[in-house]
C-alpha cells in the first residue's frame, strides 16, 4: 500500500487562498494551470516523498518547489519503509515568508 498525503489545517487554508487568488475573475488559463500543477505536486508526494531536500533545522520538514510555490511537508517512516504518511504542513507562494512549521499532529508522527 502506498503513502497517504494529508494536509494540516494551515495547509488547507493556504491552498484555499492560492485557489481563490488564481481563479479570480480575469485570472486566465495560465493561472488556473498553476493551481493544477500545485495540486499535482502535492499528490506526487505520495510516490516520491524523499525526492525533495530537508529544510534546515531538526524537525524533519522537507520542501518541494512547484510552480514557484514551496510545499512544506513531513514524511513519517523512513526511505526504506514501504508506507507511511506525508503531512503537508504549509504551502507558501512566491515571496511569502516561511513561518515556523507547526509540530506534527498526534498519531501522524
Q: Which three cell numbers stand for residue 45?
A: 508526494
Residues 6+ apart with CB under 8 A from 24: none
The whole-number pLDDT of residue 97 equals 65
Query: Span 5-92: which CATH code?
Result: 3.30.2310.20
Give the predicted TM-score (pTM) of the model: 0.81
Measuring CA to CA, which residue among 88, 102, 1 is closest to residue 45? 88
pLDDT category at 3 given cuts 50, 70, 90 is confident
- Give tens-digit pLDDT for 45-104: 999 898 898 887 768 899 999 999 999 999 987 666 666 799 999 999 887 665 555 555
Contact 77, 103 (CB under 8 A): no
Q: Which helix (H) or strand (E) holds 46?
A: none
Amino acid at each position: 500500500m502506498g503513502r497517504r498525503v494529508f494536509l494540516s489545517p494551515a495547509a488547507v487554508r493556504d491552498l484555499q487562498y492560492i485557489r481563490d487568488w488564481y481563479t479570480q475573475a480575469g485570472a486566465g488559463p495560465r493561472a488556473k494551470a498553476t493551481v493544477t500543477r500545485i495540486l499535482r505536486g502535492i499528490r506526487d508526494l505520495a510516490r516520491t516523498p524523499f525526492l525533495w531536500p530537508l529544510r534546515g533545522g531538526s524537525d524533519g520538514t522537507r520542501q518541494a518547489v512547484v510552480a514557484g510555490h514551496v510545499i512544506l511537508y513531513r514524511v513519517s517512516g523512513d526511505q526504506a519503509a514501504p508506507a507511511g504518511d506525508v503531512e503537508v504542513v504549509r504551502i507558501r507562494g512566491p515571496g511569502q515568508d516561511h513561518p515556523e512549521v507547526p509540530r506534527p499532529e498526534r498519531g501522524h508522527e
